[in-house]
């Protein structure tokens, strides 16, 4: 990705004039400028990644959002590189001012978009792409100006190689640090402001290096001080800015919030208890989560009779594991959850541990923080029951977990007498999406048994049992359930006319029709 980025913004700046004869040894000022290239390359890519991550968090469909953000950003950088030809005189002054503008707009990008999403959601897309185009244009101006300043003392051949080397090294550094260190430790808002501060620091560096060439050094110094003060204040108050946006968006009081490389996790507390949101989407409400998790777990666990080995894919909150552990026959539970931030939160936080009944601390539970698709591909032991509790297929990254390829892998890990169950969105609101999952499960030779339950926070919600043998209605359920009973369970397997089966395609990795169908059906409701 970055190779195209570097090329798009540096090629327009390369002059065709002959290289300087007898190049001089690199001066300290040239080395300082090359270090600046490293910093501005890191900052430029950081703003691009932050915009893509925010778009994925708040708009869903990570593949589409990252693709359009990166494309828009590269296009804007090309415009900036083209515009650089019109900057002829006073290049250090232009470079300094551009750095300050990048620092302000790029550094404030995550905070501005979070606040816009909370207070003016209708303007979010316009503001997102507007800021991406502005930052991209400014970033596209940076390297051409640096190259022209360096050209005073460096041959063309050495100039291009040195600038591109530092440019790509800066991009490499931030591409590794962004998901592994910056977002988990600092969050998007503080990370953006910190890198804006670094851009402003480059402007200060330029002020010191070229102070004798600047016509109004005092005015430039005041501008640098003002931008540094604004960004420093933002870094200091980043948590307050995030809470301000979150409090307005979620309405209930926020008691926990964190960002991981995979998602933004928010837990609120209101009159109806705790609620969990991932990327702004409600995952459970304490007031009725028992309906969802009892309906998800017990039809397959009780039907099996005496399950010993159970796998839970997704469900990092531990609620499904809590229900699984109500069966004394269970000897081991393997919880496969991609995001360690989820399992750590629901294992360590006292309030959340109470919600899942300390399930994640049970000695029988083994937590694996890995991608469920890859885990299935590795092969291994079979399971009596597999609980598949992924979020809805809002993007292609999640959509692969609803494909025939995934279910074929699941089939290999399911014991001959075992049952798997998949949470499968709403058969009322997203009717075709629901039956697409049923069709996909059947396409790989498993028997599919669809059913649904009413969960007030979500409405009618669907599930599908996948098995090698026919599902049989259990005679008894564990004591103490609040929603299900052996007498009423059969009602969940009856579909009224408005949720009855409709023709649907098989969801394959090569087409992922489910993601588009889901977006279309739920989009009608949201609009």
Domain assignment present for 8:
no
Task: Please indicate, yes or no, whether residues 229 and 329 belong to a single structural domain of this protein.
Answer: no
Q: Is 263 helix (H, G, I), strand (E, B) or coil?
A: coil
Instruction: Report pLDDT digits (tens) over 214-262.
Output: 888 899 999 999 999 999 999 998 888 877 777 777 778 888 888 787 8
Residue 263, annotated as binding a ligand: yes
CA distances from 402 to 251, 373, 429, 466, 513 (A): 32, 10, 18, 13, 10
Residue 293, annotated as binding a ligand: yes
User: Residue 387: what pLDDT?
Assistant: 98
> Which residues fall within 8 angstroms of residue 216, CB to CB, at 6 or more apart?
none
Domain assignment present for 118:
yes
Task: Please indicate, yes or no, whether residues 511 and 498 belong to a single structural domain of this protein.
Answer: yes
Segments forming the whole domain that contains residue 515: 286-526
Give pLDDT < 50 ranges for the chain.
1-23, 527
Give the closest residue to 203 by CA, choosing from 142, 268, 271, 292: 142
Domain assignment present for 2:
no
Q: Which one of 252, 389, 392, 411 is the catalytic residue?
A: 389
Domain end: 240, 261, 282, which one? 282
Task: Please indicate, yes or no, whether residues 208 and 327 belong to a single structural domain of this protein.
Answer: no
User: Residue 1: what pLDDT?
Assistant: 39
Task: Please indicate, yes or no, whether residues 200 and 58 belong to a single structural domain of this protein.
Answer: yes
Task: Please indicate, yes or no, whether residues 193 and 149 belong to a single structural domain of this protein.
Answer: yes
Task: Please indicate, yes or no, whether residues 457 and 517 belong to a single structural domain of this protein.
Answer: yes
Task: Please indicate, yes or no, whether residues 470 and 405 belong to a single structural domain of this protein.
Answer: yes
Domain end: 201, 228, 249, which one? 249
Residue 337, annotated as binding a ligand: yes
Domain assignment present for 388:
yes
pTM across the whole model: 0.72
User: Residue 21: what pLDDT?
Assistant: 41
C-alpha gyration radius of the chain: 27
CA distances from 102 to 83, 364, 394 (A): 16, 52, 33
389 is catalytic: yes
Task: Please indicate, yes or no, whether residues 410 and 277 belong to a single structural domain of this protein.
Answer: no
Instruction: Report pLDDT digits (tens) over 316-363.
Output: 999 999 999 999 999 999 999 999 999 999 999 999 999 999 999 999
Considering its fold, how many domains does the chain have in total? 3
User: Residue 154: what pLDDT?
Assistant: 55
Domain assignment present for 399:
yes
CATH number of the domain to which 61 belongs = 1.20.1250.20
Domain assignment present for 291:
yes
Please classify residue 500 by burial: count the beta carbons closer than 10 Å to its beta carbon, then call 0-12 exposed, 13-18 middle and 19+ buried. Answer: exposed
Domain assignment present for 5:
no
Residue 103, annotated as binding a ligand: no
Taking the CB of residue 261, how many other CB atoms lie within 10 A of it?
A: 16
């Amino acid at each position: 990705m970055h190779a195209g980025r570097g090329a798009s913004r540096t090629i327009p700046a390369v002059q065709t004039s002959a290289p300087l004869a007898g190049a001089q040894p690199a001066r300290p000022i040239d080395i300082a400028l090359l270090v600046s290239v490293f910093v501005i390359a890191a900052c430029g890519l950081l703003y691009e990644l932050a915009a893509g991550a925010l778009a994925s968090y708040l708009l869903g469909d990570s593949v589409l959002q990252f693709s359009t953000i990166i494309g828009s950003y590269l296009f804007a950088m090309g415009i900036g590189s083209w515009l650089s030809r019109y900057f002829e005189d006073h290049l250090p002054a232009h470079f300094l001012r551009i750095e300050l503008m990048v620092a302000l707009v790029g550094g404030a990008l995550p905070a501005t978009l979070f606040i816009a999403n909370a207070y003016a959601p209708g303007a979010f897309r316009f503001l997102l792409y507007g800021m991406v185009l502005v930052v991209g244009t400014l970033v596209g101006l940076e390297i051409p100006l640096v190259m022209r300043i360096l050209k005073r003392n460096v041959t063309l051949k050495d100039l291009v190689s040195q600038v591109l080397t530092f440019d790509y090294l800066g991009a490499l550094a931030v591409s590794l640090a962004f998901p592994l260190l910056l977002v988990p430790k600092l969050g998007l808002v503080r990370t953006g402001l910190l890198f804006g501060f670094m851009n402003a620091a480059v402007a200060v560096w330029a002020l010191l290096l070229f102070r004798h060439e600047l016509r109004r050094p005092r005015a430039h110094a005041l501008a640098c001080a003002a931008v540094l003060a604004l960004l420093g204040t933002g870094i200091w108050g980043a948590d307050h800015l995030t809470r301000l946006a979150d409090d307005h968006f979620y309405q209930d009081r926020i008691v926990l919030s964190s960002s991981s490389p995979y998602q933004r996790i928010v837990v609120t507390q209101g009159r109806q208890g705790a609620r969990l949101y991932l990327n702004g989407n409600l995952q459970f409400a304490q007031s009725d989560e028992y309906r969802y998790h009892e309906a998800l777990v017990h039809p397959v666990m009780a039907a099996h009779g005496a399950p010993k080995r159970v796998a839970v894919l997704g469900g990092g909150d531990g609620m499904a594991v809590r229900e699984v552990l109500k069966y004394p026959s269970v000897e081991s539970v393997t919880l496969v959850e991609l995001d360690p931030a989820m399992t750590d939160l629901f294992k360590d936080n006292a309030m959340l541990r109470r919600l899942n009944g300390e399930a994640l601390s049970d000695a029988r539970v083994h937590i694996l923080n890995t991608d469920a698709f890859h885990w299935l591909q590795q092969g291994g032991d079979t399971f009596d029951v597999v609980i598949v509790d992924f979020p809805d297929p809002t993007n292609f990254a999640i959509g692969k977990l609803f494909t025939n390829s995934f279910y074929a892998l699941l089939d290999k890990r399911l014991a001959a007498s075992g049952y798997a169950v998949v949470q499968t969105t709403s058969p009322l609101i997203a009717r075709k999406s629901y039956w697409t999952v049923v069709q996909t499960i059947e396409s790989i030779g498993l028997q599919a048994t669809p059913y649904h339950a009413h969960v007030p926070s979500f409405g009618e919600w669907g599930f599908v049992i996948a098995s090698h043998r026919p599902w049989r209605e259990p005679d008894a359920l564990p004591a103490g359930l609040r929603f299900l009973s052996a007498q009423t369970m059969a009602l969940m397997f009856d579909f009224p006319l408005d949720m009855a089966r409709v023709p649907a395609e098989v969801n394959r990795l090569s087409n992922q029709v489910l993601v588009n169908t889901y977006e279309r059906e739920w989009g009608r409701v949201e609009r």
